[in-house]
Amino acid sequence: MSEEFQQETDSTDIQSEQQPQQEVQEPPSQQVTIDSVIEAILFASDEPLSAERLVNIAEFNGGVKQVKKCIETLNQQYGQTGRVFRIEEIAGGFQMMTLPDYNIWLKKLLRERGDNKLSPAALETLAIVAYKQPVIRADVEAIRGVACGEMIRSLMYKGLVKITGKAEILGRPLLYGTTRKFLEVFGLNDLKDLPKAEELKQP
Question: Per mean pLDDT, which range of 20-24, 44-48, 125-129, 158-162 is the poorest?
Answer: 20-24
Q: Give the confidence band of 25 by pLDDT, cuts at 50, 70, 90.
A: low
CA separation, residue 135 to residues 67, 156, 186 (Å): 37, 14, 20
Q: Output the pLDDT for position 5.
A: 45
Please say if the pLDDT value at position 75 is more than 90: yes
Mean pLDDT of 134-155: 91
For residue 193, which amino acid is it? D
Q: What domains are defined for the chain?
A: 34-105 (1.10.10.10), 114-200 (1.10.10.10)
Global model pTM greater than 0.85: no
The confidence band for 203, taking pLDDT boundaries of 50, 70 and 90, is very low
Question: What is d(CA 148, CA 145) in angstroms, rounded to the nearest whole number?
Answer: 9
| Three-state DSSP state, 11 | helix
**What is the average per-residue pLDDT within 111-129?**
78
Helices (H), 81-136: 103-109, 120-132
Residue 116 has pLDDT above 90, yes or no: no
User: Does the pLDDT value for residue 139 go beyond 70?
Assistant: yes
By C-alpha distance, which of 37, 43, 72 is closest to 55?
A: 37
pLDDT in tens, 164-196: 998 898 888 899 999 998 998 888 888 888 887
Would you tell me how many other CB atoms lie within 10 Å of the CB of residue 131? 16
